[in-house]
Every structure is written in structure tokens, then in C-alpha cells.
A and B are shown apart, each in its own frame.
Chain A
Amino acid sequence: MAALTEAPPPLAPAPEAKPPRRRGRWTPYWLLLPGILWLLVFFAMPMIYQASTSVQTGSLEEGYKVTWHFATYWDALSDYYPQFLRSVLYAGAATILCLILGYPLAYLIAFRAGRWRNLIMILVIAPFFTSFLIRTLAWKTILADSGPVVGALNTLHVLDVTSWLGWTSGDRVLATPLAVVCGLTYNFLPFMILPLYSSLERIDGRLHEAAGDLYAKPVTTFRKVTFPLSMPGVVSGTLLTFIPASGDYVNADLLGSTDTRMVGNVIQSQFLRILDYPTAAALSFILMAAILIMVTFYIRRSGTEDLV
């Protein structure tokens, strides 16, 4: 706006003294209205409701009243910090795995796939056509104790190493941290690939040629040209993977065991089983705050302006 008002050449004066009718001045706001309403009803109101719940005390019989009982936050944090740390750890591991798996694939689709590009894209998106739950349950079949995958890993003594690291226990993969991280990685991989692809695809091929003309080796070209230009994709991909993964509870529930519960599982059990609504709400807010802080820090450090 500043640029507009400071524009040196004045706008051509209107032929008549009447000021021009500002048609459509409110149009953008009208167009925004559905979105704003949607946000108010499905985001702002639940947030206020949850915030209120988190400082209430009471029971189902006596009802809940707002008593500004902020100690709930402290109690929730001190009781369940292991689950919080675990969520961050698992979601972080899954995000890094997604990046390692997703980057080469996105690169391939963007630069090398040629006429296979659409087919590979469909293959990336295809799992979304089945339900999240079914996809997760399928991993139980894939990783079954007597299945071929675990058999092969045992023969190669890979599981001895992972057990020693504490990622698996004994000669099984299911019901261990490794299975949960694998499930998270699998379920959120497309969220990493799609933004990576869209930012890689936008890179002008001539920049690569120019780098080659300047005697850059392919590795240098990638390091100095491709990767920096794909940073917006990397940042939004990691965010889209990390944020939902840290709140996920389905993978920990179906593929994990008692020692792999994440904060999502705690919230679920507080809300539905123990009926401790304030603690559940407080946990949700702590999780949101933690993610917000981590994401803020991450975006600042990553030094990128654009997210898309």
C-alpha cells in the first residue's frame, strides 16, 4: 500500500468532479466471509471452549465450573512429560525419515520422470484413497512376527542391532518404537513429497545449465542451486509432517505397546476413559504451545521467507 500512495505520478484526474464510485470495495471481504465464519465456528470457538475447560474443576455429577485452576497445566506436564518427549522424538524421527525418503523421489518426479511423472504422482497419492486406519492396520500384517519382513531382518541380524539400540525388543518389530516410527513415516510421506515436488518443479532448468557452464560439479549444483531453491518445499513439507505426526495416536495405539504411548494417546485416554476433561484440554494446549514454539524457532532458523 505504501508503494501505491507514494507513487510519484498522480492518478489521471477524473473528467468530472464526482469522485469515482468505488465499486467492489467490499467484495474481497464478502468473499472472505465464508472462510472467516468457518474459522470462527470450527477453530476459534472450540479453542475458547477448550481453553475454558482446561481451567475448570469439577466432576461429571457436579458439573464443571471455571475456577482458574491453572495447576492442571503443571500437573499434566509433570505427569506426562515422558509422553511429550516421546511424541517430539517419534515425530521428529518420522519427519527426518520422510525427508530422506521423499526428497529423492520428489527430485525424480520433478526432473527425471518425463512421461512417467503423472503415474508416479498417482502412486504417491493412491494410498490416500483408503482409510488411514486400514493403511495402519496393513502394517500389522506386513510386520507380523512370522511374516517375511521380520524373518529377513532376523536372518540378517538387523534386529539384534535395533534391539541393542532400544528401537525394537527381541526378535519382533511390531509393538516397538520402530514400528510406530515406521507407521508415522509411511502415513505422512505424501505430505512431505507434495510440497517438495511443487517447489522443485518450479526451479528453472536453465539455472542448472548455468551452473554447469560455470563448471559446477553436479554435487555443487545441488548444494548451491537446487537445494536452496527447494527450501520452501523442505520447510512446508517438514511442517506438514511434523505437526500432525506429533499429535497422532493411531500409530502408537495399533503398532506400539505400553512404552510407546504418545501424548495423543494420553489426551484420548484422559478425555474418553478417565473423563478428566480439564487435564485433556490442558494437555492439548501444552501440545499446541510446544509445537508453536518449535515451529517458530524452526522457521526463523531455516531462513526462508516463502512457505509455498
Chain B
Amino acid sequence: MEQYEPEPLTPVQLSAMRRSLRSGRAALNRRSLLRASAGGALAAGGLGALSACGIPAAGKTEGGTSAEDHSKDEKEVNFSNWTEYIDIDESEKHHPTLDAFTKRTGIKVKYTEDINDNNEFFGKIQPQLAAGQDTGRDLIVLTDWLAGRLIRLGWVQKLDPANLPHAYANLSSQFRSPDWDPGRAYSYPWQGISTVIAYNKKALDGIEVTSVSDMLDNPRLKGRIGFLTEMRDSIGMTLLDMGKDPAKFTDDDYDAAIARLQKAVDQGQIRRFTGNDYTSDITSGDFAACIAWAGDVVQLKADSPDVDFVIPDSGYMTSTDNMLIPNKARHKTNAERLMDYYYEPEPAAELAAYINYVCPVDGVKPYLAKIDESAADNPLIIPDREMAAKSHAFRSLSSKEETAYEEKFAKLTGA
């Protein structure tokens, strides 16, 4: 048998191969890079393809569109919530209130902490909801203004009151009828959030801060004041300080509040606008005072005794994070049952004892006192009459207003 011999390559072929490996055509060089990028630009300019794209109009169906409800045959519910926003046991694996719900109803809860930021989360679910698709979530928790936007766009489902007897009976009056969801047809609050002024005693060094004016006008606090990137909290607190009502302000009032903050930015009084990361600034003392969320401050206080908060005489902003059922959710009834469960005083008390936000459920106090006496007396968790009187909500905005206001606020924060 003849043995196979590879054909010998000619010296010319060999040298061509070698060249192509080192620096010939195969090597990544400037010319090939330029050519490649020019090709990329051309491909991107395929004009015909461009007009084929477009974003469909929001579904204008009143009451949202439901998918077939699989609640009966699939005993589960997919619950998306913010991080660290529920009770958790020592092992950091189980959520006692959810476990109790599963035990009683047989409905498994798939709990996901995938909401970090309202805007970001909206960016995430917007393509699916706009296209009328299932997001894979049965229950989501969003702050007022975004909940209002989803209702406006028709992207969430109307709730069935028959499944929500406790929620209907126990929702505290403060939260009963927000202007963006009159009578709570689409949403029920998960927790309430109070926006207050936090300060660092050590950093303040004896300077008194009890109002937004104190923060903005004291030259000794130059460059050590923080505001939130959440427009409604920062502007709301400023409006209150200016004697305006955030529930019914005008365009001029808004512009005046922006101008007041712009002046403070220009003078270098405001160090920066922050999201949740203000917590590190206030504990390190880089912020002497800042607009903050009370629930965070209650937790920060436990670790750093210098941090405390004050509620201005002019009042404070309250908002809620609301449970909503997005369009096409597969387990609507199960989601409603879970919603209703958290309006029973006992689970509500257990939740309130763990996370220090405003409890939206009436009649929780005696149950909470059994778990944690001091929490039950804390007006930030169970608001007393005086606290409730000082609480203000930001009015809902039309789509046009929202764009215009966010744009002005973005200019203020530099982008």
C-alpha cells in the first residue's frame, strides 16, 4: 500500500503563509481595522432596515389585558420586589411571612429581588409590556409615580375586589385614594416611604438643621449638602419649604423650586444628587445633612449613632411602593390572594417589625407591640395623628408634565 505523503508546499507558498500569520492580511492592522469599522458603519446605515423598526403605541385598553388565569392549575405566584424589602430569617434563606402564606394556601411564591431602581426597572419591562407580552411576573412593587404611569399606559390589570377583603377593610385612610389610582382599583401599597432630612451630628458640629432652608442657606454647610435624584422627593421637600403644597402646585411653583435649588448648586452648596448611595455619604460625614428616606435612616442609626433625622415643621413627603399585577400575568388570582394576605394584621405586623417603613395597614399596632414594643410606638412605622397631618404627597403628573419636569430636573443635576 502506498503511504500517504502530504504534498510539499513550495517555498513561495510557505513564505506567503508565514507573512499572513505575522503581518499580512490576516493580522489585525490599522487598515483592516479601518475597513472593518467602515463596513460596520455601512451596515448600520442600511436605511431600509431603519424604517422597519418602531415602538408600538401603548395598549390603550382600559383595565389592562389579562391572559388566561392559570391560578387554579398552577399553584404559584412570581413576586418581584425591591432588595431587602421583606422579612428574612436567621439563615437568610427563608421569608417567614411568605412561608406562612404557602403553608396556608398551598401557593408557592417565587420571590425575586430584581427591582433596584424605578427608572431602570421600567426600562427593563417596558419592551415586553409595550409589545403586549407576559413579563413573567405576577406581582411587582413600584413607587407611586411609576405605578401611575403604568396605569395611565394601560399596562396593569384591574384588581378583583372579591379577592381582596382584608386589603379593602384594613388599608389606612391616608393611602385610600391617591389621585393616580382613585379608590385603589389597580394597586395596593406594600409599604409607605417618608422622605425626611437626615444629618450627621459629628459633621454638623453644632450647626442646627431643621428645614430645607437651613440646608440651602447656611454658608458653613457649603459643599456638604445632599439631595436625591428622585425628582419628586427633592422638589417636594423644597416646595414644602417654600410654603407650597406638593399636591397642587403650578408650573411656576415648580420653576421657582428648581431655581432655588439651581442657586444652591451654582454656589456649591449642594455637593451632589444621589440615589440610594447617600447612605455612605451621610455615615462618613461627607454629607452633613441630606434629604433621605426615613426607613433607611432608622436602619443606619443602628450602626452609626451620629446619624439621625429631623422632620421639618413645613412637613415631609410621603409616597408608597405599590403592588401591581402587570398585563398578561399568568397567576392573577394567586397574586391578589398574596396582596390580601399582607393586609391581615398579623403578617403585616411581622413585616413591619422587620423592615422599618410606614405600615399601610390599620389595626397592626397591638400585634406589632407583641413583637417589638418600640417599633409600635415609632411614628415613622405607625404614624400618629400629628405625623399624618404633616405628611404630603406629590400630585400625579400628566405625561407631558412628567417629561418637561424630569427634563428640567435633569438639567439641574447636570445631565
The CA-CA distance from A259 to B265 in the complex, in Å, is 9
Interface residues of A in 258-308 (CB under 8 A from B): 258-261, 265-266, 268-277, 292, 296, 299-300, 304-308
Chain B residues whose CB sits within 8 angstroms of the CB of A277 once the complex forms = 55
A49: interface (CB < 8 Å): yes
Chain B residues whose CB sits within 8 angstroms of the CB of A273 once the complex forms = 119, 406, 410
- Contact between chains at B50 and A272 (CB < 8 Å): no
Given A53-B55, A145-B224, A175-B271, 10 new contacts (CB under 8 A) = A9-B10, A51-B45, A172-B223, A254-B277, A268-B415, A274-B407, A276-B407, A299-B30, A305-B29, A306-B29
A52: interface (CB < 8 Å): yes
The CA-CA distance from A52 to B46 in the complex, in Å, is 10
- Contact between chains at B49 and A63 (CB < 8 Å): no
Chain B residues whose CB sits within 8 angstroms of the CB of A89 once the complex forms = none
- Contact between chains at B41 and A63 (CB < 8 Å): no
A212: interface (CB < 8 Å): no
- Contact between chains at A256 and B272 (CB < 8 Å): yes
Give 22 pairs: A residue, B residue, CB < 8 Å, sorted on A. A11-B10, A44-B44, A51-B44, A51-B45, A52-B52, A59-B399, A61-B58, A68-B51, A145-B224, A146-B285, A170-B222, A174-B286, A258-B265, A261-B415, A266-B415, A270-B410, A272-B119, A275-B406, A296-B34, A305-B29, A306-B23, A308-B28
Output the least CB separation between A72 and chain B (Å): 13
The CA-CA distance from A32 to B368 in the complex, in Å, is 64
- Contact between chains at A269 and B410 (CB < 8 Å): yes
- Contact between chains at A269 and B415 (CB < 8 Å): yes
Q: What is the chain B residue whose CB lies nearest that of A50?
A: B44
B56: interface (CB < 8 Å): yes
A154: interface (CB < 8 Å): no
B346: interface (CB < 8 Å): no
- Contact between chains at B399 and A272 (CB < 8 Å): no
- Contact between chains at A274 and B403 (CB < 8 Å): yes
A76: interface (CB < 8 Å): no
B174: interface (CB < 8 Å): no
A140: interface (CB < 8 Å): yes
B-side residues, CB < 8 A to A, are 7, 10, 12-13, 15-16, 19, 23, 27-31, 33-34, 37, 40-41, 43-46, 49-58, 119-120, 122-123, 130, 152-153, 222-224, 265, 268, 270-273, 277, 280-281, 284-286, 399, 403, 406-407, 410, 412-415
- Contact between chains at A299 and B414 (CB < 8 Å): no
The CA-CA distance from A9 to B13 in the complex, in Å, is 10
- Interface residues of chain B: helix, strand, loop or mixed (majority): helix
- Contact between chains at B10 and A7 (CB < 8 Å): yes
Q: What is the chain B residue whose CB lies nearest that of A133?
A: B277
Q: What is the chain B residue whose CB lies nearest that of A263?
A: B415
Contact of A48 among B46, B270, B403 (CB under 8 A): B46
- Contact between chains at A271 and B23 (CB < 8 Å): no
Closest 4 pairs (CB-CB, A-B): A63-B57, A52-B53, A258-B414, A261-B414
- Contact between chains at B222 and A49 (CB < 8 Å): no
- Contact between chains at A65 and B30 (CB < 8 Å): no
The CA-CA distance from A307 to B45 in the complex, in Å, is 27
- Contact between chains at B273 and A258 (CB < 8 Å): yes
The CA-CA distance from A42 to B401 in the complex, in Å, is 35
- Contact between chains at B153 and A61 (CB < 8 Å): yes
- Contact between chains at B153 and A48 (CB < 8 Å): no
- Contact between chains at B16 and A3 (CB < 8 Å): yes
Q: What is the chain A residue whose CB lies nearest that of B286?
A: A145
Contact of B272 among A56, A257, A276, A300 (CB under 8 A): A257
Chain A residues whose CB sits within 8 angstroms of the CB of B57 once the complex forms = 58, 61-63
The CA-CA distance from A256 to B414 in the complex, in Å, is 10
The CA-CA distance from A115 to B34 in the complex, in Å, is 40
The CA-CA distance from A68 to B40 in the complex, in Å, is 21
- Contact between chains at A276 and B403 (CB < 8 Å): yes
Chain B residues whose CB sits within 8 angstroms of the CB of A165 once the complex forms = none
- Contact between chains at A307 and B28 (CB < 8 Å): yes
- Contact between chains at B49 and A307 (CB < 8 Å): no
Q: What is the chain A residue whose CB lies nearest that of B288?
A: A145
- Contact between chains at A257 and B271 (CB < 8 Å): yes
The CA-CA distance from A47 to B41 in the complex, in Å, is 9
Chain A residues whose CB sits within 8 angstroms of the CB of B272 once the complex forms = 175, 256-258
